[in-house]
Amino acid sequence: MSDSYGIDRREFVKAAVAIGGASALSACLDRGPEIDVPRGPEDPASAFPERQHAWNAALPTDDAGNNHHPRHRVLLPLSYGDGMPTDAERETVEAALAGLERAYERSAAGLLLTVSYSPYYFDRFDESLPESVDLPEPRALADFEDPDADDIDAIVHLASDHGEVVMGAEEALKGEVDELNGVSQPDASLTDVFTLGERRTGFIGDGLPAENQDVDGVPDDGPVPEDAPLYMGFESAFQGNQPGEDRVTIQSGPFAGGTTQQLSTLTLNLKQWYEQDSRDQRVSKMFCPHHASEGTVEGTGENLGTDPQMDDCGDPTETARSEGVVGHGQKMVDVREDDAPIILRRDFDSTDQDRAGVHFLSLQRTIEDFVTTREAMNGDDVASNSAVGQRTNNGILQYIDTVRRGNFLIPPRSLRALPPANPADDAAENAEVAHA
């Protein structure tokens, strides 16, 4: 038996996050030692950055020098329904969000959050989104996928190293608790304005996938390495293969300081991955054949430090021609700008529906940047010119199935509560009215 801080408790907390609700939260709080999370500032609006997605500065750096990812996640889908948002509703949403921010410090140990809005939300306005925002409706991005469109209006992303924090934050947003971390909560709740959709949950970080591998899509004998941060067994987000936040931030227009969020739900089939592929095959398909033959990747790849050394992989088509396989990461190196990818990956694993999955969440300046990256990952040209198949030996395409795709705008913080489609137009109109 491990002690209450050990695996049992970690598994317990993760299971509680997956199940959610006030009873799960209280079961969690009853069971464990009180967690000690610093509170946030009295006036978050003046203390917090305008970029909702500016998380990096609030995240510790791990031993290897990479950004740490908050271990527990909840995504709360929200439907607004018909009609136009009112200023009173905006105040309600803002008050509910600010309540959380006063309760928990803005950090991985505390709470990080974003609110984002879909094209379906913005459709209701007469004006369209400004040209500085690229936010099409989601569509299939590969010949072999047929995803559902994530057609909810908005989604809140809650992230913390403490499961209790994301659960507490969720309960507060639903108006279920009066006090959070000793801080009294406003009467306002998101449910005053939105209808909640089916919550989505997840986790990322060493140990969590192994502890939560008793789900469909993972073989029964528990093949996920104990120290892996993700189900497929490797470190993914290295300092050297992530862009900075500036590269993904919208630079101009009323939503400057915002970003776009691509959110897809992937299901994993890891029987083949762990039982029918060898370690070398896995390294070839995830990184590249060069890394497999040179033994570049040890274990989960922690030995790579901050740099997955993709420059050594070679040209994807040439590799596919001569090796019969091309790596997942290798295919996307060509998309890099200034030696960094153009999407910032903040994805995490999930056991939703008792199914091994991924909530692939990435930030980029335009959705087009995501599409470009995803097309490179499809490797159509590589497949057409080599022994590599549409999904066979074509990176990790064989093992993942995209079941849902959604596109969202994460507006700057000052516009995070029910933004109009074109705030500048509105402001201009208001100004005219004021002068009239």
Partner 1 sequence: MHKSRRAFLAGVGAAGAAGLAGCSGFELQSGNREPPLVENRPDGVYVPTHTEGMGMASMQSDGGYSCALTYSFPHRFWTITGSDTTMVEVGNSDALHLMPIVWHSETGIVPSDVNPTVDISRDGESVVDGLSPWPMLAQRMGFHFGDNVELPEQGEYDVTVSIGEGGNRRTGSLADAGAAEFEFTLDYQLSELNDLPFEDIPPARQGTLGAVQPMQMDMVPLMQAPTEDELPGTVRGTAESGDAQFVVTTIDDAGAFGDDADQQHLAVSAHTPYNRYPIPLMSLSATVTRDGETVFDGYLNEWQDGDLGIHYGALLDTVKEGDELTITVDSPPQVSRHEGYETAFLNMSDATLTL
Number of alpha carbons in the 13 Å side-chain half-sphere of residue 222:
8
Question: CA-to-CA distance for 200 and 428, rounded, in angstroms?
Answer: 38
Block residue for tokens 């000690």 = 36
Question: What DSSP element (H or E) covers 366?
Answer: none
Interface pick for partner 1 out of 297, 310, 325, 333 (rule CB under 8 A) = 325
Q: Measuring CA to CA, which residue among 123, 125, 99, 94 is closest to residue 111?
A: 99
Q: Is 277 in the site for partner 1 (CB under 8 A)?
A: yes
By CB under 8 A, what part of segment 110-169 binds partner 1?
142-146
Structure tokens of 265?
């739900």
Q: Is 377 in the site for ligand HEM (CB under 6 A)?
A: yes
Dump the DSSP string for 84-120.
Answer: ---HHHHHHHHHHHHHHHHHS-SSSSS-EEEEEE-HH
Question: CA-to-CA distance for 129 and 412, rounded, in angstroms?
Answer: 14
Query: Phi and psi at residue 116, in whole multiples of 5°?
Result: -135, 160
Cβ-based nearer residue to ligand HEM, 363 or 377: 377
Q: Is 205 in the site for ligand HEM (CB under 6 A)?
A: no
Query: How many residues make contact with partner 1 (CB under 8 A)?
Result: 62
Cβ-based nearer residue to partner 1, 344 or 383: 383
Cβ-based nearer residue to partner 1, 254 or 357: 357
- CB 80, min distance to ligand HEM, A: 28
One-letter identity of residue 60: P
Q: Measuring CA to CA, which residue among 384, 137, 351 is closest to residue 262?
A: 137
Q: Is 276 in the site for partner 1 (CB under 8 A)?
A: yes
Question: CA-to-CA distance for 133 and 381, rounded, in angstroms?
Answer: 30
Rg (CA), the chain: 22
Q: Is 19 in the site for partner 1 (CB under 8 A)?
A: yes
Query: How many residues make contact with ligand HEM (CB under 6 A)?
Result: 25
Q: Is 358 in the site for ligand HEM (CB under 6 A)?
A: yes
- Please provide the size of the chain in residues: 436
Q: Is 5 in the site for partner 1 (CB under 8 A)?
A: no
Question: CA-to-CA distance for 206 and 236, rounded, in angstroms?
Answer: 12
Q: Is 352 in the site for partner 1 (CB under 8 A)?
A: no
- CB 191, min distance to partner 1, A: 20
Contact string (CB under 6 A) for ligand HEM, positions 237-266, x = contact: ----x------------------------x
- For strands 200-203 and 195-196, give the pairing: unpaired
- CB 135, min distance to ligand HEM, A: 17
- Selection from partner 1, ligand HEM, none that 243 binds (CB < 5 to 8 A by kind) is none
Dump the DSSP string for 232-273.
Answer: TSS----GGGS--TGGGS--SSTTTT-EEEEEEEEEE-HHII
Question: CA-to-CA distance for 113 and 74, rounded, in angstroms?
Answer: 10
Q: Is 387 in the site for partner 1 (CB under 8 A)?
A: yes
Q: What is the DSSP letter of 175?
A: T
Interface pick for partner 1 out of 89, 235, 323, 349 (rule CB under 8 A) = 323
Contact string (CB under 6 A) for ligand HEM, positions 314-343, x = contact: -------------xxx--xx--x----x-x
- Selection from ligand HEM, partner 1, none that 241 binds (CB < 5 to 8 A by kind) is ligand HEM
- Selection from partner 1, ligand HEM, none that 341 binds (CB < 5 to 8 A by kind) is ligand HEM
Q: Is 138 in the site for ligand HEM (CB under 6 A)?
A: no
Cβ-based nearer residue to ligand HEM, 69 or 413: 69
Q: Is 120 in the site for ligand HEM (CB under 6 A)?
A: no
Give, to the nearest 10 degrees, the angle between helix 22-31 and helix 163-173: 150
Stretch that binds ligand HEM, among 113-121, 132-140, 230-238, 269-277 (CB under 6 A): 230-238
How far, in Å, are 53, 54, 112, 113, 428 from residue 58 at the CA level?
10, 8, 8, 11, 35
Question: CA-to-CA distance for 61 and 80, rounded, in angstroms?
Answer: 37
Question: CA-to-CA distance for 99 and 161, rounded, in angstroms?
Answer: 19
Could you list the residues that contact ligand HEM (CB under 6 A)?
A: 230, 232, 234, 236, 241, 266, 286-287, 308, 310, 327-329, 332-333, 336, 341, 343, 345, 358, 360, 373-374, 377, 400
Could you list the residues that contact partner 1 (CB under 8 A)?
A: 8, 11-12, 15-16, 18-19, 21, 23-24, 27, 31, 142-146, 211, 214, 216, 219-220, 267, 269, 271-272, 275-278, 280-281, 284-285, 289, 320-325, 353-355, 380, 383-393, 397-401, 403
